[in-house]
Amino acid sequence: MDILEKIVFDKRKEVALRKSLIPVSQLENSVLFSRETTSLAKALKNSTTGIIAEHKRRSPSKAVINHTLNVQDVASGYENAGVCGMSVLTDGKYFGGALDDLLLARAAVKMPLLRKEFIIDPYQIIEAKAYGADVILLIAAILTREEIKTFSELAKNLHLDVLLEVHNQEELHKSIMPSLDMLGVNNRNLKTFEVSLETSKKLSSLIPDDFVKVSESGISSIEAIKELQPYGYKGFLIGENFMKTDNPGKSATSFISNLK
């Protein structure tokens, strides 16, 4: 099994357990379920920088990135820095995240929050809404076309934005449909973990202009963003670059002011 298959295998067990503990009706009755969401796609369209900053404690490829910061401080720091939105990793086993991180970030900021998760079940989309997310991530590599359609339509019904992530042309072709808002190209090869911006460049012309283009992984410099902007990218997901510092908000602030 490669790492993605392993994560999905564990995720199915985890979601089955969560479903048995907390029924959908309970999620739908939560305070945040009825809150009005904020669109990340709109924020990116209207931005000149397009930064989506991430809260990430560790990853399978990098082990520990940062275990010492609290989520509210990171979220507030990012919002003050002027990022377009924040990605919050909620996977526990592989990334050290939790759904509560989403709640804590939501309590601290108004900006759009993305639930960064391996979504394999509609239940997780309802969960995302109940915990204060504005956006969900769908990963084409782990979903069928039918699942992408069902999941993205459910998200739209809940007024959540949908960011769909692809790694290659094949995934892109099976995924394009009107219920998506943003198409994210992940520059990391999930089998080898190698990162190349060429992936974003190659796929850019195949993404219809109806979708906001987002580039993910391996974006750690202003040069990388400047290199990708001519290809029509409006969003740039930056994970480790800010999180590996003592003050992610401060490093995001200086990054954005240099980018401008």
What's the pLDDT tens digit per position in 27-76?
A: 999 999 999 999 999 999 999 999 999 999 888 776 777 777 899 999 99
Q: What does pLDDT average to over the chain?
A: 95
Tokens of 173: 């072709």
Give dist(CA 196, CA 260) in Å, integer.
24
Return the HEC string of 54-69: EECCEECCCEECCCCC
In the residue annotation, 54 being an active-site residue is answered as yes
Give the pLDDT of residue 60: 78
In the residue annotation, 156 being an active-site residue is answered as no
How much of the chain exceeds pLDDT 90, in percent? Answer: 87
In the residue annotation, 146 being an active-site residue is answered as no
Give the pLDDT of residue 194: 86
Neighbouring CB atoms inside 10 A of 126's CB total 20
In the residue annotation, 165 being an active-site residue is answered as yes
Q: Per-residue pLDDT tens for 127-140?
A: 999 999 999 999 99
φ, ψ dihedrals at 22, nearest 5°: -125, 110
Give the pLDDT of residue 67: 74
Q: Which of 215, 217, 241, 251 is catalytic?
A: 217
How does strand 85-89 pair with strand 51-55?
A: parallel
In the residue annotation, 216 being an active-site residue is answered as yes
Amino acid identity of residue 226, one-letter, is: K
Q: Which of 117, 127, 165, 240 is catalytic?
A: 165
Give the pLDDT of residue 69: 83
Give the pLDDT of residue 242: 93
Q: Which helix (H) or strand (E) holds 237?
A: strand 233-238
Q: Per-residue pLDDT tens for 77-90?
A: 999 999 999 999 99
Q: Which of 11, 39, 59, 116 is catalytic?
A: 116
- The residues with which 86 forms a beta bridge, in sequence order, are 53, 113
Q: Which of 11, 39, 56, 171 is catalytic?
A: 56
CA angle at 72 for the pair 116 and 137, rounded to the nearest 5°: 10
In sign, the C-alpha dihedral spanning 65, 77, 253, 230 is positive
- 235-243 average pLDDT score: 92
Is 121 in contact with 14 (CB distance < 8 Å)? Answer: no
Give the pLDDT of residue 7: 94
Q: Which helix (H) or strand (E) holds 52?
A: strand 51-55
Q: Which of 54, 117, 171, 240 is catalytic?
A: 54
- 118-130 average pLDDT score: 98
Q: Which of 59, 66, 87, 186 is catalytic?
A: 186
Q: Per-residue pLDDT tens for 180-235?
A: 999 999 998 877 778 999 999 999 999 999 999 999 998 989 999 999 999 999 99
Q: Which of 152, 216, 241, 251 is catalytic?
A: 216
